[in-house]
Amino acid sequence: MAKKIRLGILGGGGDSLIGVLHRVASQINDNYEIVGAVFNPNFEENIAFAEEIDVPTNRIYKDFDTLVEEELKLPKEERIQVCSVLTPNFLHFPMVKKLLENGFHVICEKPMTTTYEEAKILRAAQEKSGTVFALTHTYTGYPMVRQMREMIRAGAIGKVHKVDASYYQGWINSIIHDKAKRSTVWRLDPKKAGISSCIADIGVHAFNMVEYTTGLRIKSILADFNYLYDDNQMDVDGTVLVRMDKHIKGLIRSSQVATGEENGLSIAVYGEKGGLRWEQENPNYLYVLSDTEPLQVYKPGHAYNSKLSLGGTKLPPGHPEGIFDSMANIYLGVARAIRGEVYNDGEFPTMLDGVRGMDFIERTVESHKNGNVWVDLD
Ligand SMILES: NC(=O)c1ccc[n+]([C@@H]2O[C@H](COP(=O)([O-])OP(=O)(O)OC[C@H]3O[C@@H](n4cnc5c(N)ncnc54)[C@H](O)[C@@H]3O)[C@@H](O)[C@H]2O)c1
C-alpha cells in the first residue's frame, strides 16, 4: 500500500464554502492525510478549527509565509507534498507562485489568478519547478462529464457544430439589490475577486466544460454583461457568444441573478450525427440525442462507459455519487500524478486550463467594455 500523500490546506476554514468539499474529497479514495494548514487568517480561529476537525495543531501556522518557512525546515519525507489553495481569488497567485518555487505540488481553486498576466507567470513557474499543478474545475470529475468527453473524442456525435453551456445561480439577488450589502461580499470587490464576479466565478466553469468535453479551443468571443446598478463594478450576469472556428459556434450563459436557480450548470454539444446533454443538478444522466433514434440515457458504472468514466465510479450502478465524488476523482488523478503513476490527461484540469480560463475572463471584460465587440483569445 502506497503511503498517504501529505496535504496542506490554505483557506477553507470552518467559515468557508468550499473547504469541506476539499477535505472530504481528499479522504474519499484514502490517498491523502491533512498534516498542516492555515485555514484562516486569525490564528485562534485557525487552531480552534483544527481541533474541531481533529487535525494536529503542531503544524497549524499563523500565516502562509510561516507555513512555507517551517515546512522547508522539515526533512523531505515529513514535509507537506501538496497544498490546496482555497482562499479568495486574490491570494491564489502569490500563494501558488511561492509554493511552486519551493517545490510543492499544488491543487488550486478557480479562477486560477486575478489576471491573465499572473496566470502566465504561474505557467512559467510550474514549467521551471516540474511539480504537479491541478485546477479544481470540480465538474470535470463527474463520470458522465468524462463519458461525454470520451464519446465526443470517439466520434459518437460526429463533427461538432454547436455548443451551449450555461451556469445559472440566483444567490446574489439577496445582496445586489441592497446598496449596503453590496460591499460585504468579496466576490463583488475587485480587490479580492479580480476584474469579474459572475464570469470569473461561474462562467469560467462553463468555458472549461466546453473545452474539456469537446477537446476544442474557443478562439474568439463577444460578451454582454449586466452590472444591474451603476455603482456596482462587477458583472453579475454575462452572455458570451463563442466561436471555435468558422463552422463551430455557440454560447456561454452565466448569471448570479437568475432568480430561483441554485447551481444550474449544464452543457449541450451538438454534432452532425447527434447531440449530448448533461446537467449538474442531475449529474448521473447523460442524454444522447438523435434526429433518427429515440432519446438514450447513459448512467455511471455500466460497462458500456469509457475507462475514464468508469475510473470515477466507486459503487455499482444505481448508487448515486455526487459533487464530493466528483472532486474526489480530481484528487485521485492528482495523487497518481504525484506518485508518478500513469494517468489519463482528462483526470484533472491543469495549468493550461487555468491560463485559458484567465484569458477568457479578461477577454470577455474587454469585449463588454469596448462595446460588445468580437475579441480573440491567444
Ligand atoms: N470549484 C468550485 O466549484 C468552487 C466553488 C466555490 C468556491 N470556489 C473557489 O474557492 C475559493 C474560495 O471560495 P469560498 O466560497 O470557499 O470563499 P469563502 O469566503 O467562503 O472562504 C474563504 C476562506 O479562506 C480563508 N482565508 C482568507 N484569507 C486567508 C489567508 N490570508 N490565509 C488563509 N486563509 C484565508 C477564510 O478564513 C475562509 O475560510 C475561491 O477562489 C472560489 O472561486 C470554487
175/236 Cα distance (integer angstroms) = 11
C-alpha distances in Å from residue 292, one per residue of 156, 275, 289, 295 = 14, 12, 9, 9
Q: What burial letters (b/e) apply to 131-142, b meaning 16+ CB within 10 Å?
A: bbbbbbbbbbbb
Q: What are phi and psi of 262, to 5 degrees?
A: -105, -85
- Residue 240 burial by CB count (10 A; 0-12/13-18/19+): exposed, middle or buried? buried
Q: In Å, what is the CA distance from 81 to each residue of 19, 75, 103, 167, 291?
A: 19, 11, 8, 34, 51
- The per-residue pLDDT for 285 is 98
Burial group, residue 60, by CB count within 10 angstroms (0-12, 13-18, 19+): buried
Task: Compute the distance between CA of residue 163 and CA of residue 256 in angstroms, rounded to an integer.
Answer: 21
Question: What's the pLDDT score for residue 183?
Answer: 84
CA of 87 relative to ligand 1 center, distance in Å: 4
Residues of the chain with pLDDT under 50: 1
Compute the distance between CA of residue 79 and CA of residue 201 in angstroms, rounded to an integer: 32
What pLDDT was estimated at residue 59? 98
Residue type, 18: I
Exposed / middle / buried, residue 108 (Cβ in 10 Å: 0-12, 13-18, 19+): buried
Dig out the grid coordinates for 245 from the structure. Answer: 472556428
| 13 Cα nearest atom in ligand 1 | 39
> Which residue has the CA at smallest separation from atom 15 of ligand 1?
17
Probe target for ligand 1 pocket from 38, 87, 172, with the most ligand atoms within 8 Å of CB: 87
Q: Are strands 160-168 and 248-255 parallel, antiparallel or unpaired?
A: parallel
* Other beta carbons within 10 Å of 51: 12
Angle at 119 between CA 200 and CA 169, to 5 degrees: 10
Tell me the whole-structure pTM to 2 decimals.
0.97
Residue 2 confidence (pLDDT)? 64
- Which pLDDT belongs to residue 143? 98
Ligand 1 atom 29: residue of nearest CA: 41
Distance 15 CA to ligand 1 centre (A): 9
Compute the distance from residue 315 Cα to the ligand 1 centre, in Å: 31
126-164 pLDDT per residue, tens: 999 999 999 999 999 999 999 999 999 999 999 999 999
Task: Quote the pLDDT of residue 16.
Answer: 97
Residue list, ligand 1 pocket, CB within 6 Å: 10-13, 15-18, 38, 40-41, 64, 86-89, 91, 109-110, 136, 138, 186, 201
In this structure, how many other beta carbons lie within 10 angstroms of the beta carbon of residue 71?
22
**Whose CA is closest to 257, among 228, 289, 224?**
228
Q: How far is CA 355 from CA 79, 134, 302, 340, 349, in A?
A: 28, 12, 35, 24, 11
Q: pLDDT value at position 65?
A: 98
Sheet order of strands, 133-135 included: 32-38, 5-11, 82-86, 105-108, 133-135
